[in-house]
Amino acid sequence: MRAITGFWREFRTAFESALEGMTDEEFREAWKGCAARTKRYEEHVLPEVANTMGLKFQKEDFKVDFTLCEVDSSGNAVPIVFIESENNARSADHEVRKLACLHAPLKVLVVCAEWSNDQGDWSHKGDRDDLSSMWAKQINAHNAVWPSTSVTGVIVAEWNRTMRYYSLAFGPRGEIVDPHECFFDREISE
């Protein structure tokens, strides 16, 4: 079994690679609405991630948006990564709760938000601090009752002056095990 934090980084790198392969037109199309963005993840980004990681892609498995599985010698698909995609980060607490209840080495939340708290990016300070704190508390609360060794990764999409994707990962007690960073930043032509 892969080291858990390394497994998260492998997932994140594969996600970044899938984004790098997208054209500006594909980004524009995906950002026409929530359904278009989810469709892009479902039909292109996450199948590429699964392929890169040597896993099988499944959707709506256990009422979870997406699942990446290892296939054993008998053909059983064993969930290794559970992924929830929510277009409104402020309402993603249900998805975080769902992920915290699942058993797998890696759980990933993919959201859209006005995330950056850099001066001038948004008329308010970005959502990063508030949402990170809320999600960390949720993860810790679940772990206090039902201990886990899972890592919960978060990928945040933000389109302001440029298209940015940020990431961070929480350990089982809600502690940051992979610090916040912007791992994708592209100017999308009009």
Listing DSSP states for 123-182 in one string gives: SS--SHHHHHHHHHHHHHHHHHHS----EEEEEEEEESSSEEEEEEEE-TTS-EEEEEEE
- Rounded CA gap, 115 and 108, in Å? 17
Six-digit token string for 47? 């199948």
Write out the H or E segment, with its range, that includes residue 17: helix 4-20
Count CB atoms within 10 A of the CB of residue 36.
Answer: 12
**pLDDT (tens digit per residue) in 62-118:** 789 999 999 999 999 999 999 999 999 999 998 999 999 999 999 999 999 999 988
- Residues 120-150: tens digit of each pLDDT: 888 888 999 999 999 999 999 999 988 999 9
Structure confidence at residue 1 (pLDDT): 46
- Structure token digits, residue 162: 């440029």
Given a cut of 80, is residue 3 above it in pLDDT?
no
Closest C-alpha among 111, 177, 181, 168 to residue 149:
177
